[in-house]
Amino acid sequence: MKKYTVCICSGTTCFVMGSAELQTLADHLPPELKDRVEIRFSHCLGLCNDRNFSRAPFVTIEGEPMGGATIPAIIERLGKLASGNA
């Protein structure tokens, strides 16, 4: 089965603005997604450099950026991908 890649930005801005919490994403994945997600951590993705940084923390899911990322939002997106409803 295809694995989906989630890449969590570990730049300092994203980390302080919320991606510290995203580090525990693996513990929050529902059973049907557990084996279908590969979680990576990256250096600053360079998405936060506007002065309002209002959308940090950023992740990319299958290469597509998501701002204001939260664990529920990531899981929702992955669920849609996995069920073919993306």
Partner 1 sequence: MLFENDATRIRREVMVRIARAFLEGNLVREIDRIPLEMRPRNAETVSRCCVYKDRAVIRYRCLAALGVGFDEEKDELTPLSAFAQQALDRKKIEGPVLSVLEIACHACVKAHHKVTDACQGCIARPCVVNCPKKAVSVVDGVSRIDPKACVNCGKCQKVCPFNAIVKIPVPCEQACPVGAIAKDAQNRSVIDFDRCVSCGRCMRACPFGAVLERSELLDVLKALRGPRPVVAILAPAVVGQFPGSLEQIVAGMKRLGFSGVVEVAHGADLVARAEAAEFAHRMRGGATFMTSSCCPAYVQAAKRHVPGLMAHVSDTPTPMHVSAEEVRKRNPEAFVTFVGPCVAKRFEGRNDPMIDAVLTFEELGALFIAGQVDVAACPEEPLEQPASAEGRGFAIQGGVTKAVQAYASPDTPLKPVYINGLTRTTLLQLKAFLSSCPGNFVEVMVCEGGCVAGAGVVGQAQVSAQKIRLLTDSNVTRKAGG
Q: What residues line the site for partner 1 (CB under 8 A)?
A: 10-13, 15-18, 20-21, 23-24, 41, 43-44, 52-53, 70
37-42 β-sheet, strand order = 37-42, 4-9, 59-61, 64-66
Residue (41 or 82) nearer to partner 1, CB: 41
CA 54, CA 40: separation in Å to the nearest integer? 23
Residue (65 or 70) nearer to partner 1, CB: 70
Residue (45 or 81) nearer to partner 1, CB: 45
What's the min distance (Å) between Cβ of 40 and partner 1?
Answer: 13
Any residues with CB less than 8 A from the CB of 53 and at least 6 apart, and which?
13, 17
